[in-house]
Chains A and B, each alone.
Chain A
Amino acid sequence: MINSVSFYEKLVGIKSSLGSIAILIASYFAAYYGGVRLDGVLNLHFTRDISHQVVITDLLVNIISLVLVFGISLFLINKRLPRLADLLPQLLWAQWPLIPLCLLSLIFDFHAMGDMAKESVNKEELMDMISSAPFWLAFFILLQGIIIHIYFYYGLFKVDSGLKGSKLGWTFTATLLLSSFLSMFIIHNISLLSDKE
C-alpha cells in the first residue's frame, strides 16, 4: 500500500495542484453518476435523490470545513498559518479513495439495499440480504476505502504538523472529528433551509 506520509512529503509543484483539481472533478462525476451523497467529511450515503446542486454543495462544504478546521488546528500547533496553496491540494488529494467507492454502486446495487432497509420488508428478506456474500464483500470494500481515506488525512496531518507519538494521535483524531461534525452541521442546516423553500 502507498505510504501516505512519504506521499505527502513528496507532493510538490504544479503537478500536485493540477492533480488535486482532477481529483475534485472526478469526485464530482463519481458522486453524481454513482448516486452518492458525501454529506460530511467522513460520510458516504448511496441515494437515488441526487442532483448537480447537491453534489457541488456537499463537495464545497466538505472542503471548506476541512480547510477551516485543519487550518486552525495546524495554526495552533505550529504557531503559524499554513499556506492555503499547500493545504488545499493536500486535502483534495486525500479525497481520492472516495472516487472508486462512489463508483461501487455501479457494481453492487446499494440503492436497492437501501430501499429494502427503508421499506422494512419482512425480516426473512432482510436477513437474506444481510447474509449474502455480495453484501459482505461490498461492506468490506467500503470499510477498507474509508480506512484508506482516513489514512491519507493522517499522512497529511503528520507531515504538516511535524508532531509525533500520542500527541499526533489525539490532535489528528480531534481535528478530523471536528471537521466532520462541522461539515455535517452545515449540510444539515442547508438541507433544512432548502426544505423550507
Chain B
Amino acid sequence: MNNLKTFPSTCPACSASLHVSELSCSECETKIQGQFVLPQIVSLSSSEQEFMLAFLKASGSLKEMSKVLGFSYPKVRNMLDELIVKVTALSNEKSIS
C-alpha cells in the first residue's frame, strides 16, 4: 500500500482529463472494469486539494488559514478566489459534457 503514487488528474501525454477504467480490491484482487468519472476534487492539483482540506479544518476561517499557512490574509483570499474560479470552470465543463 505504501507504493501508491500520487493520483494523476490529467493525461501526461496530451493533458486531457482522465477517467477510471478499472478498480481492484487490494484484499481479494477482484477487478471491476468500466468507464468511471473522476470526482471533481481529484481534478484539482495536490496543492489545491491540500488548500481545500486546510480550509475545511479551519472551519472556513481565512484568518485562521493565514496563520496556518503563514501567508497574509489577502494572499489566502486570492488563493481561494483562484480555486473558486477553477472549480466553477470544472463544474461548467462537466455540465456541458
Question: Which residues in A have some Cβ–Cβ distance to B below 8 Å?
Answer: 8-13, 16, 78, 82-83, 86, 90, 159-160, 162
User: Which residues from A are CB-within-8-Å of B73?
Assistant: 12, 83, 86
List the B residue with the shortest CB-CB distance to A8: B72
Q: Are B74 and A159 in contact (CB under 8 A)?
A: yes
Q: Determine whether the beta carbon of B81 is less than 8 Å from that of A162.
A: yes
* Nearest Cβ on chain A to B70's Cβ, whole angstroms: 6
B interface list, Cβ under 8 A from A: 66-67, 70-75, 78, 81-82
Pick the contact of B72: A11, A78, A162 (CB < 8 A): A11
Q: Which residue of the partner chain B has the closest CB to A86?
A: B73
Q: Do B67 and A162 touch (CB < 8 A)? A: no
- Chain B, interface SS category: helix
Contact of A162 with B78 in the complex, beta carbons under 8 Å = yes
User: In whole angstroms, what is the CA distance A160 to B66 when docked?
Assistant: 14
Ranked nearest first, the 4 interchain pairs of A and B with the lowest CB-CB distance are: A162-B78, A160-B74, A9-B75, A86-B73
Distance A8 CA – B70 CA, assembled complex (angstroms): 11
Residue of B72, B81, B82 with most chain A CB atoms under a 10 A cut-off: B72
Contact B72 A159 (CB under 8 A): yes
Q: Is the CB of B71 within 8 A of A10?
A: yes
- Shortest beta-carbon distance, B1 to chain A, in Å? 37
What are 22 A-B interface contacts by the 8 Å CB criterion?
Answer: A8-B72, A8-B74, A8-B75, A9-B71, A9-B72, A10-B71, A11-B72, A12-B66, A12-B67, A12-B72, A12-B73, A83-B73, A86-B73, A86-B74, A90-B72, A159-B72, A159-B75, A159-B78, A160-B74, A162-B74, A162-B78, A162-B82
Apart from A13-B67, A16-B72, A159-B75: 20 A-B pairs, beta carbons within 8 A: A8-B72, A8-B75, A9-B75, A10-B70, A11-B72, A12-B66, A12-B67, A12-B70, A12-B71, A12-B72, A78-B81, A82-B74, A83-B73, A86-B72, A86-B74, A159-B74, A159-B78, A160-B74, A162-B74, A162-B78
